[in-house]
Structures are given as structure tokens and as C-alpha cells.
Amino acid sequence: MLEKNDWHLLPWQQIEQFIFFIQSKIYKNSICSSNNEVHRLQLFLCTSQAIKLFAVRAITEGRFKHQDGFNNNNLIVLNSSQKLYLAMSIDLQKNICPFSHNSELSQLYRSSLDLIVFLCLRPEWEAKIKKRLNSTLFNQNPRHIIDNIGKEFCSKNFEMSIYIFAGMIECSNLNVSYILKHLGTIESFESYIKNTVFQEQQFFTLFSRIDISRAKVDVKNLCQLLSHIICAAFQEQLKKEYETFVDLSFFRYQNNFIVSSVNLQDINDFINKSQDILSHMGLEYNWKHSRILTKQQTLRFLGFEISPTFLLVKTNIYNQVILNASKEEKKLILSKIRYILRSRHEDGKTRAKTNMPLTKAIALINPLVINWRKYYVGFVPTSTLEKLDWLLNEKIYRWYIKRLKKNRVTHWNKRCIQIVRNKKRIAQDSYVLELFNSSTL
């Protein structure tokens, strides 16, 4: 029967509608706290042929990011019957991969299982976190959190002493039994997560760093889903302690959070109690990125530098917050652009890629600049953006003229500069270099 079917002629629209229908029922039952019905629907969904076909299609066509970060572009190309055979061989009840003799097929098999478990668990926990904490697991807006932090600091009186604790959570020795107990899912999911995800080499992927330049804030895979669930469990435990802190403000994004209070003793009590909760979960603070600050100090959070200050108008004092991109993020985006333009040789030195055309360099740099600009637009001062634009143009100019021996300025002005909206821009053919300052576009 496998050879008679055509992979591309399968009813993919009906398959996606069926999966979405079951996921919506899981979400509704999770809102109503009907755990038995949720588990029954999850078991039905993970054993259906529809989700197996959908998972193999998403993995083989590169629509799903694996938690290990491997690139499936170099994997073997499967034909129609091979994809069908791979989909029908998926069995979540068995922990043994039938393709252990082939490393590439075993990667595809495991990635498909990860996606199946992710699709079954996500609607349940989206509903639970919405109900308990009134927030979402994915698609949170860090810019909205930064805006709320700025409003919180501006609402305080300048004479008032405000103490801020900026914390970052990381794994030390994860308590798997505690996490699985909090997860409370079906037995097949528990065994798979315990045997596959919670391994020593997987700890570092639980709390991945936010990559602003490549728009990878939410990868949306099984490992990131579990990290969101762990952070939500930590916040739920803290919520029970909020009654003892009267003037405590709490902001969290993934494993980064900020706590502010007018009382330093409340901050110290919060740190002690939160450390007890984290140690019970097998987590700890990353003290390189966690510290106690006062209101007058510059705070770094989610790639921003938050500098509270005051404005004196006649006899009135007004609070204000200056937002800017952090030095680390500015250096990081420029180093990534430099990495595109240069290559590292065996002697350890880097040299310019003189064989790469300017059009390809522009095509590789533009997505980084666009994503960085979208994240910081409206917050970063124009002077910072203009300085980044100058550095960007200077890097590309110095890289390009290294291939020329004479008439550098003449060649650059004739071949690489175009007038776009009455302004000189680095461009070639139909490729135009994007700039950090959107007002100059």
C-alpha cells in the first residue's frame, strides 16, 4: 500500500484541520481543568496517522527547528514511499529507534517524535498558563515588557529609594522528578521526555539566549516549551509569596526577570526565598547576569540599557527613563556583519572574502539589520542608529575596496553607490543595503 500512495497527493489541508481541531479541544478541556479528557485527547492525537504524516512533512521540509539545532539540509532526500514508511514507523510507545543503523534517519525519527510531543503538550500548557498567570508561553513581546518597566520607574518619586534585582535562571542539576510531577502528563510523554530531553547534554538548550539579529526569540520546539513550563512553575511558586511583599513589582520574560521594591530587605528576602524554590527545582541564578541595583544605576535587560534619571523644570522634578541598546548587542550585530565579510584561515587570522560579490553580501546583511531595527525601533536614540549606520557603511567600504588596486574611489562611486529617495545608498543592481535608522530610508 505504501508504494501505491503518493506523498504529494495526500489531503494535507484535511490533515492540518484535523490536528488543529483536536488541539482546540485539548485547549478547551484544559481551561475547564478536565485533565482526564485532556490526556485522552493527547493519547488519541499522538497515535493518529495524521500527526505522524504532518511531523515527517515538517521535518523533511525544514519547517521545524530541532532542539539540537542540526541542519537537515544536508540530510538524505527521501522519496514518497520512504517518507510514508518513516511516518508509519513512528511509535511513541517504543523508546528504540528502528533506524539506529542510519544516523540521518534516526535524527529525522527523533525530530518527528519531538514535534509530535510538542504539538500535543503546547495547547494544554497554553491554556494553563493563560488561566494561572494570564500570560502566553510564546509570542511574548519583550518591547512591551520594557515599556512597562519604564512606566513603573517613571511612576515612582525621584526622592524615593528604589532597589532593583535583575536575575537570570540557569540549570545546575535539574530535578527531573519534580518537573515531571508538575507536568502531570501521560506515561508515554513522561518516559520520552525523561529519556530523551532531560539528559546532561541537553541542559544548556533549556534556556537559550535571545538572538535579536536573527529573530529567534521563539524557536518553538519541545525543549523551549519545557523551559517555558519550568519558568512558569517558578513564577507560580513566587506568586504564593507575593502577599508578604507589599511594594514588589515583578516582570519576567522567559528566564529573565526584574524585581523592584522600595525596601532593600524585601529584595533580600525575595532572593533567599527564590533561591530555595530554584534549588528545589534543580536551578540556580546566573550571578554573572544577576545583580542588585539602585534606581540611579543603569540596568541591562533583554538587550536594552535602562537608565533612570530626572528632569528639573523650574521647581518641579520629573522622572524619566532613557532607553538604549546595550553595548553587547551593538558589538554583537557588528561582529556578525564582520563574520559575513571575512573568513578565518588555518593560521587563525581573518581575511576579507574578496571573491564574494557585493549583491550577496547585501542579501546576507539585510535580514540582520532589519530584525535588529524592528526590535529597537522607537526606543533607541537616532544618534546611536546613525553611528551604527556609519560603522556599517565603513565596514562594507573597506571590505570592498580590498579587491581593487587602483581607481578605488571612482569605481566605488560609479558601481556601488545609487541615489535612492534623494540619498546616497550602498547598492548594486536591485540590491540596496538596509540601514539601522529607518528615518533615512
- Under the banding of pLDDT at 50, 70 and 90, the label for residue 18 is very high
Q: pTM surpassing 0.75?
A: yes
- Under the banding of pLDDT at 50, 70 and 90, the label for residue 50 is very high
Q: Name the grid cell of 407.
A: 581607481
Q: State the DSSP code for 8.
A: G
Q: What mean pLDDT is predicted for residues 3-31?
A: 89
Average pLDDT of the chain to the nearest whole number = 83
Per residue in 127-175, pLDDT (tens digit) is 999 988 888 888 778 888 888 888 877 776 655 677 888 888 888 777 8
Residue 236 has pLDDT above 70, yes or no: yes
Residues above pLDDT 90, as percent of the chain: 22
Please say whether the beta carbons of 293 and 190 come within 8 A.
Answer: no
- Under the banding of pLDDT at 50, 70 and 90, the label for residue 215 is low
Q: Name the grid cell of 124.
A: 494544554
- Under the banding of pLDDT at 50, 70 and 90, the label for residue 441 is low
Q: Where are the domains of the chain?
A: 7-133, 142-323, 326-440
Per residue in 101-113, pLDDT (tens digit) is 777 788 888 888 9
Q: What mean pLDDT is predicted for residues 409-436?
A: 88
Q: Distance between CA atoms of 400 and 9, rounded to whole angstroms?
A: 49
pLDDT at position 74 is 47
- Under the banding of pLDDT at 50, 70 and 90, the label for residue 391 is very high
Residue 293 has pLDDT above 90, yes or no: no
Residue 29 has pLDDT above 90, yes or no: yes
Range among 3-12, 35-44, 223-232 with highest mean pLDDT value: 35-44
- Under the banding of pLDDT at 50, 70 and 90, the label for residue 199 is low
Residue with grid cell 540601514, as numbered in its chain: 435
* Class of residue 417 by CB neighbours under 10 A (exposed 0-12, middle 13-18, buried 19+): middle
Per residue in 56-106, pLDDT (tens digit) is 998 888 765 554 444 444 456 788 888 888 888 888 877 677 777 777 788
Identify the CATH number of the domain defined by range 142-323: 3.30.70
Residue 401 has pLDDT above 60, yes or no: yes
pLDDT at position 71 is 45
pLDDT at position 310 is 67
User: For the chain, how long is the longest CA-to-CA vector?
Assistant: 85
Using a CB cutoff of 8 Å and minimum separation of 24, what contacts does 261-268 make? 261/162, 261/163, 262/156, 262/160, 262/161, 262/162, 262/163, 263/163, 264/163, 264/292, 267/163, 267/165, 267/292
Residue 218 has pLDDT above 90, yes or no: no
- Under the banding of pLDDT at 50, 70 and 90, the label for residue 205 is low
